[in-house]
Structure 1
């Protein structure tokens, strides 16, 4: 049964979106970080603010350090000792950012309401536009749905289901799971550098074939392109009609493996090499 057959003509389509503040070419923060700043202003403490927005104490401080660094000026000031026993306050610049963000957010919501009412299917298209506009230094950007979260003593194992049915496994810290808001059924993307991907061929054919190596991720597909350079080659592997994984390997490896367009191969990489991200 498809998603379309499960929905009814009376289902309301709601358009959503987020506002991010930028400092030059880098992102300063979005709804979550602005909410943290507002909570600090209300509670006067990092502990109280972190609890109010559902962050760990360390995650809150990491976010504050990031915002201070990217803003190029102090946004949060922590006082120690003194008559009042210390506390945490916001600078005038931080308070202005909160007011600016809230004003822009109100106008943004009005725009979303108008667009959602005027254009059929705009909500789904808008989310897709946001994903395809993402820029990172990682060559491989794989979108999927969180299929399973396995909690460990220190780290969590996150399984991300790709559109074609295969999956990517990542190992991240508990704090990363919480700060990203990762939940089963939620959307996320996996980033993997091309230099971290190994390519292999084997004699066993079929979707269940696997190679006995320590790499947790083994994605099977067909070579879609081979671009040779002076020393290294860029090899792209099509997992399905929508998903491609690219690896950087030596020209000698291309020759040894006999890689050519249309050949079945396996892209392998460690779970620790996968970086997970979400859209805020």
Structure 2
């Protein structure tokens, strides 16, 4: 009996056309952060001290700001540590790696069925005007007299609730276990502090700001969730200041269930 076909690959972040951060370099940086010593980190990974330093210097030379720095003095006589920028880059890489592995898993699940693989690739290529597009699996359907409340589990594990008509639910074939796309326009996303978010909003997706683009009156804010998904919101520049949002700030995206559009690929 032949083995099932499996999609495989490795993720690399690049700067220009040069490899910047991959799994091996990420592991080295994590060990440096854990052990506070280049020598200990290299020894833990079974590599030579010079090779470890060469890798770190290559990363620092390509990075916008140093990821690793020497710490001098102190009772322990100094050592090596990650900068805050370094920790942020590791978090970004691990989130991207998680999303990439989920993608490979999805492709592998259909690799031996060309028709289903083609349908899956079609779903991945879906383009709409909504800035927020996530694929998820239906975990619950609560039908009312006119509308249905549909709960999805997104790829990163976050729950998302949508309210659609019973007719739409039937026409789209939405049942527990079905794969659907959830679409939300960026102006329909409200941002709030994670320490005191409103309790009445059905969907509260919390993470950290990883991108802000400002215009004359509005600002587009990108929020990265713990599971790797991103949420895009468009808010007033005045509101941006009132919330005190900058890159790295924790925040929650609030989305009314009625603003979530569901779509399927057939």
Q: TM-score scaled to structure 2, two decimals?
A: 0.56
Match of 1:258 in 2: 244
Written as runs of structure 1 = structure 2, the 5 A alignment for 1:152-163 is 152-163=144-155
**Compared CA separation, residues 195 and 130, structure 1 to 2 (3 A):** same
Deviation at 1:215, TM superposition (A): 1.8
Match of 1:275 in 2: 261
The DSSP-based 3-state class of the residue aligned with 2:168 is: helix
2:204 aligned to 209, 214, 218, which one? 218
Q: Equivalents in 2 of 1:228, 1:157: separation in Å?
A: 35
- Is 2:167 aligned against 1:175? yes
2:228 aligned to 226, 233, 242, which one? 242
Is the CA contact 2:155–2:227 (under 8 Å) kept in the aligned structure 1? Answer: no
Deviation at 1:11, TM superposition (A): 8.2
Deviation at 1:221, TM superposition (A): 1.1
The DSSP-based 3-state class of the residue aligned with 2:239 is: helix
Match of 1:184 in 2: 176
Q: Equivalents in 2 of 1:11, 1:193: separation in Å?
A: 43
Gaps of at least 5 residues in structure 2 are 6-110
Over residues 216-261 of structure 1, what are the superposed CA-to-partner deviations in whole Å (9 max), with x where a residue is unaligned? 1111111110111110000011113531110000111111111111
**Compared CA separation, residues 125 and 265, structure 1 to 2 (3 A):** farther
**Compared CA separation, residues 254 and 182, structure 1 to 2 (3 A):** same
Is the CA contact 2:205–2:253 (under 8 Å) kept in the aligned structure 1? Answer: yes
Match of 1:230 in 2: 216
The DSSP-based 3-state class of the residue aligned with 1:176 is: helix
Match of 1:203 in 2: 195
- Is 2:124 aligned against 1:146? no
Deviation at 1:171, TM superposition (A): 0.5
Q: Equivalents in 1 of 2:179, 2:3: separation in Å?
A: 21
Deviation at 1:188, TM superposition (A): 0.2
Number of equivalenced pairs: 162
Deviation at 1:170, TM superposition (A): 0.5
Structure 1 residues 182-191 or 239-248, which shifts more? Answer: 239-248
Q: Equivalents in 2 of 1:124, 1:266: separation in Å?
A: 36
**Compared CA separation, residues 129 and 199, structure 1 to 2 (3 A):** same
Q: TM-score scaled to structure 1, two decimals?
A: 0.53
Is the CA contact 2:136–2:154 (under 8 Å) kept in the aligned structure 1? Answer: yes
Written as runs of structure 1 = structure 2, the 5 A alignment for 1:65-214 is 126-203=118-195, 211-214=197-200
